[in-house]
Structure 1
Amino acid sequence: MVFQALLAVPLGLAAVCLFTFLKTNLLYQIAIRNKTLEREPPTIPHTIPYLGHAVGFLTPVPGQFFSRLLAWFAKSHGGASMKLAGRNVRLIFSTTAVQAMLKVKPTVASSDTMIKDMSCKGLKMSEEDWAKYTGPPMYGRNMEHEVSSKYLLRPAGADVLLRQFVKTMKKSVKEEGMRLSIPSDNKKGEVVHLYGWLRSFMFQASATSFFGERLFIEYPEIVRDFWEFEPLFLDLLFGVPRFVNSEPYIAQQKVVDGITKWIEAVDRDMGDKTPNPDLPDQDWEPLWGSRFVRAREALWQRLGMSVGGRASMELGLLFALNANAVPATGWMLMHILDPSRPDILPRVMEEIQEAVDVATASGNAEMDFDVATLLTQPLLQSMFQEVLRLYVDVLITRGVHQDMRLPTEDSNNTLLVKKGTIAIAPSYINHHDPTAYAGAPVGEYDPERFLVSAGSESAHDSGEENFFKEKSSSKARSSKPYAFSAGSAGAKMIPFGGGRTMCPGRVFAKREVFCSLALVLLNFDISPLAGPKSYKVPGHVASYSGSGIIGHGGDVKVHIKSRTGN
């Protein structure tokens, strides 16, 4: 009897799972045969009640869930429906539908729930501070957009931040160059792990240029603690219980406490006065750093947020600055140095040298290179675009408040996304669409994927949704036989999200990446430790969908020495 009772439990569970699969598969077959103009995305069959596809969706292998889905599910459907732990989720694949979704009014669909989860779960903001940030009378979120627009997105604000970043990065590079200049028996230079070496001083330069020097005085462990916290952020966002894994919660507490300590120290030094971002001749100062951070801190104080809430907000900015730009620079540098493409490094150095020559000719002593020239170099732009295509994994998420009707490429198919569901546009699907990108297979990095003949019409067509259009320097005229173009693939690229919640740091991020590469390659000789056959750019680190720039699953060893060294 006991054996029969024990056997009944798994048999009952198996029966429930079988019934669930048969039912959802039947509904799926009916849905894909529905030829009406307006229809909901077909529901993907699943086996486990309530959980639905949650187990597969949360597999920590970037793109695996979507690759398996599209192996049998037709992308031409434009979207799919699925269950995630009881939530009704609509995956939007169609490029046309995604672009339409990004343009809907916040009253129809918004990212409020996701932003709250990121702030409260991921950054440890209290419910009280969240209410002050979002609610009346000042509507902090709208005011934050105004601050970002004035001090980060507009050219004047972005240029001020960039000059300070380059100044700080040059100081870090000089100090590292002096260290590497010490005579050594190894004439090829010191052996380092490339990304680990770059990450340490690039993070410090970026954080110092935004937040000031006092942050590192009050919180000297910030570099170590941040890179411990960064890969665990999505565990917090997805609600992994503390009893299952306490590490994310410990890492989060350490970094929030450290930033809180910095804010409290500066408040004391300032006599609790509200910082003024618009003081003349003070683009940067050591306590709060940039005008941008001073404006943010002034806003948080006016909203009455606690010191802990302010720390959560600045951790969010620190995360946005470094969890994406630093890994992107690392990916680019690894591919530039890849000995399987020995032509890439000399061509990149030629492009950087052109920017140096323009700066020299103009007598610009503050910058080592002309930024406008650097940003418009075709090979560098192509390599950056390819990094964003291959290594960015974002989920643009909207909570649907009213029924949405989204057009698709097929005029006979309009997606109906009903009120109360969650719409997600995963970048992975369109970034890995084999029909959209010429060159090597879409799973491989191709540095020349976005290069076209300089005389072709597409050389001037960067695509409907290209985020990287730059004004060419009037002093630089390229004689290269190729040019950069995102072409029609540009509309499929959504590396920075979209709509009103598009990443406000996207303009600065590209400048940070390009300037960091230029400073590193101008000041150091770097060569792979291994030969062409054994040098291998690492794959992705294990991570959940939506991780932004996917981290490095390893590193490469290189010889490095200062160009000005002995």
Structure 2
Amino acid sequence: MGFQVLLAVPLGLAAICLFTFLKTNLLYQIAIRDKSLEKEPPALPHSIPWLGHVFGFLTPVPGLFFSKILLWYSRAHGGASMKLAGRNIRLIFSTTAVQALLKVKPDVANSETMIRDMMCKGLGTSDVDYAKYVGHGRHLEHEVSSKYLLRPTGADVLLRQFARVMKKGLMEESLRLSGPADKRGEAVHLYGWLRSFMFKASATSFFGERIFTEYPEIVREFWDFEPRFLDLLFGVPKFVNCEPHSAQQRVVKGMTRWVKANDRDMAGKTPNPDIPDQDWEPRWGSRLVRAREALFQDLELSAQGRASMELGLLFALNANAVPATGWMLMHILDPRKPDILPRIMKEIQEAVDAADPNGDLDFDLPTLINQPLLQSLFQEVLRLYVDVLVTRAVYQDMKLPTEDSQTTLLIKKGTIAMAPSYVNHYDPTGYAGAPVEEFDAERFLVRAGQETADPSGNDGVIYDEKSSNKVSKKPYAFSPGATGAKMIPFGGGRTMCPGRVFAKREVFSSLALVLLNFDITTLAGPRSYKVPGVVASYSGSGIIGHGEMLSKAKKQELV
């Protein structure tokens, strides 16, 4: 009798799963045959009640879930529906619908739920501090970011301090590697080597030098926390994996020590971001962080709440820009494409030649960030290695247009609209050049005079920054809109990443400083060289991290 009971349990569960699959598959077949011009995205079949597609979605292989869907599900439907742990998700594939989604009013659909999860679950902000921040505080923080970070002038001030610290670190490394000519150089894991310099430079330029004395474990503990952030965001419970929660507690505790130490020194005074001739100071660092701290104190956030907010900024600075620079460097050094490195070096040298001899940068920044091959290579990194989920909770029924002008997607209130970047970044019909699964550094180059506008509506901000003092005479030009495909590497709408202007400057400057100061020789030849694969990560991880590559960094005299 007992054996029969034990056998009945799995058989009953199997029957429930089979029934669920047959039912959802039947509804799916009916939905895809519906010729209505206005309809909800077809619901994808699933087998497990309530959980739905959660196990497939949480597979830690970037893009695998969506690539499997698209093997049998047509993009022409414009979208699809799925269930994730009781949540009704509406996937938006149509680029026209995605653009419309980014423009809807906040009372129709917004990202507040995702922002709360990021702050409270991911960064450790308490419910009390979030309640103080969410109203007027969030709007004021956006104004602070616009003034001190989003505008090119503010980003350039931060970039100069970043470049000074980065250059100093590289010069010290150059001296360390100096030695007899026949023994000069050292084999290193390139990404880990690069990461240490970029993290130190970005943290110092934004947060000051004191953060490293009050929190000396910051480098190690931050990089322990960073790959576990999505476990926290997706609500992986402690009994399943306690390490993400422990990593979060360690890094928030360390950041809180820094905040409290500065508060003691300030003796009740509020940081002042607008002191003349003080773009940077060692305690709080940049004007941006001083302005943020003044705001957070005015909102009466706790020291831990302020620390978690600054952890969010530190995360934004390093979790994406550092791997993006690593991907660019690894593809530039690829011996299978021997013409890329000399062409990149030529573009960097042109920026060096245009530099102000009395300035504090080794290169002219407008010239550097407008070089066509560098921009194309950066854009290709964003296309190939960015995995973001633009997410909106829907509070009113909305109709999204598609490429077919007669067809609209109906997204009902109470659902969650989600636009995965992978679907359109890997659309084989959207890009010229090599197959979309391959890296093509020249994918976004066209003949000079044939450039098209940035289809994301960010001309002059992210990609196509026009230099006022330099006119390119190259036969080719960078054109982000050459394919007509839509890319959303920084998200979109009101929640578009506020650090995108600085991020591009940080990536290009880091790349230039490394290539100007070091000869880097790959230990693998053209036949055995392989760009590292992506690390295991969940959907929505931003710029995906990568494995290590063994290289040899050698000292090179400064240009």
TM-score past 0.5 threshold = yes
Greater shift in the superposed pair: 204-213 or 242-251: 242-251
Query: Structure 2 unaligned runs (5+)?
Result: none
Show the counterpart of 2:251.
255
| 1:161 paired residue among 158, 163, 174 | 158
Once residues 197 and 490 of structure 1 are traced to their aligned partners in structure 2, the CA distance between those partners, rounded to angstroms, is: 37
Decide which of 548, 555, 558 is 2:551's aligned counterpart. 558
The answer to whether structure 1 residue 20 and structure 2 residue 20 are counterparts is yes
Corresponding residue SS for 2:390: strand
For residue 141 of structure 1, report the CA deviation from its aligned partner.
Answer: 0.5
- 1:213 corresponds to which of 201, 209, 212: 209
State the partner residue of 2:381.
387
Equivalent residue number for residue 96 of structure 1? 96
Q: Which residue of 2 aligns with 1:291?
A: 287
Q: Quick check: 2:279–2:286 contact (8 Å CA) kept in 1? A: yes
Distance 1:33 1:364 in 2: 68
Which digits, 9 at most, give the CA deviation of each residue in 1:12-46, with x for residues without a partner? 11111111111111111111121122111000011
Q: 1:408 to 1:460 in 2, by over 3 A?
A: closer
Within 5 A, what are the aligned runs for 1:135-534? Answer: 135=135, 139-183=136-180, 185-187=182-184, 189-359=185-355, 362-455=356-449, 457=450, 459-466=451-458, 468-489=462-483, 491-534=485-528
* CA-to-aligned-CA distance 1:364-408 (integer Å, 9 cap, x gap): 431110000000101100000000000000001100011111001
| d(CA) in 2 for partners of 1:365, 1:312 | 36
CA contact (8 A) 2:456 2:487 kept: no
**Distance in 1 between residues matched to 2:4 and 2:464, nearest whole Å:** 72
Deviation at 1:540, TM superposition (A): 0.7
TM-score by length of 2: 0.97
Residues 470-479 or 414-423, more deviating: 470-479
SS in 1 for 2:363: coil
Whole-angstrom CA distance in 2 between matches of 1:535 and 1:87 = 44
Distance in structure 1 (CA, Å) of the matches to 2:229 and 2:105: 29
Total equivalences in the alignment: 556
AA in 1 matched with 2:9: V
Give the residue type in structure 1 aligned to 2:368.
Answer: L
TM-score norm. by structure 1 comes to 0.96
Equivalents in 1 of 2:417, 2:232: separation in Å? 21
Secondary structure of 2:320's aligned partner: helix
Pairwise CA distance, 1:167:
1.4
Deviation, 1:185, is 4.6
Equivalent position of 1:81 in the other structure? 81
Q: CA deviation at 1:151?
A: 0.6
**CA shift in 2, pair 1:400/1:474, >3 Å:** closer
CA distance in 1, matches of 2:456, 2:179: 51
Matches of residues 123-134 of structure 1 in structure 2 within 5 Å? 123-134=123-134
Residue 514 of structure 1: SS of its match in structure 2? helix
Contact 2:454 2:464 in 1 (8 A): no
User: What is the letter of the counterpart of residue 556 of structure 1?
Assistant: M
Q: 1:464 deviation in Å? A: 4.4
Structure 1 gaps of 5+ residues are none
User: Who is 1:69 aligned against?
Assistant: 69
| One-letter amino acid matched to 1:218 | E
Q: CA deviation at 1:177?
A: 1.4
**Do the aligned partners of 2:446 and 2:482 also contact (CA within 8 Å) in 1?**
no
Q: Is the 8 A contact 1:537 1:555 kept in 2?
A: no
Structure 1 Cα separation of the partners of residues 41 and 305 of structure 2? 39
The answer to whether the 8 Å contact 2:122/2:232 transfers is yes
Q: CA deviation at 1:169?
A: 1.3
Aligned partners of 1:398 and 1:422 also within 8 Å: yes
Letter in 2 for 1:182: G
Q: Deviations over 1:63-88 (max 9, x none)?
A: 00000001111111011011101111
Q: Do the aligned residues in 2 keep the contact of 1:219 with 1:259 (CA within 8 Å)?
A: yes
Where 1:71 maps in the other structure, the secondary structure is helix
SS class of match (1:35): coil
Distance 2:233 2:456 in 1: 32
| CA deviation after TM superposition for structure 1 residue 228, in Å | 0.8
Question: In structure 2, what is the Cα distance between the partners aligned to 1:141 and 1:475?
Answer: 37
Q: What are the superposed Cα offsets for residues 288-324 of structure 1, whole Å, 9 maximum, x if unpaired?
A: 0000000000000000000000000000000000000
Deviation at 1:182, TM superposition (A): 3.5
| C-alpha distance in structure 2 between counterparts of 1:473 and 1:399, whole Å | 39
Q: Distance in 2 between matches of 1:461 and 1:319?
A: 31
Q: Deviations along 1:143-198, whole A, 9 cap, x unmatched?
A: 111000011112221121111111121111111111112336524x1111111100
Deviation at 1:351, TM superposition (A): 0.1
Distance in 2 (alpha carbons) for counterparts of 1:424 and 1:7: 40
Letter in 2 for 1:99: Q
> What is the Cα deviation at residue 491 of structure 1?
4.9
Residues 430 and 485, structure 2, Cα contact 8 Å, conserved in 1: no
Aligned letter for 1:31? A
Q: Distance in 1 between matches of 2:485 and 2:456?
A: 5
Residues 154 and 468 of structure 1: is their aligned pair in 2 closer, same or farther, counting only changes over 3 Å? closer
What is the rounded CA distance, in whole Å, between the counterparts of 1:491 and 1:144 in structure 2?
A: 32
The SS at the match of 1:68 is helix
Stretch moving more, 110-119 or 27-36: 27-36
Secondary structure class of the residue paired with 1:558: strand
Instruction: Please give the alpha-carbon distance, in whole angstroms, between the structure 1 residues aligned to 2:358 and 2:430.
Output: 41
Letter in 2 for 1:2: G
Instruction: Report which stretch shifted further, 3-12 or 543-552.
Output: 3-12
Identical aligned pairs, as a percentage? 74
Secondary structure of 1:88's counterpart equals strand
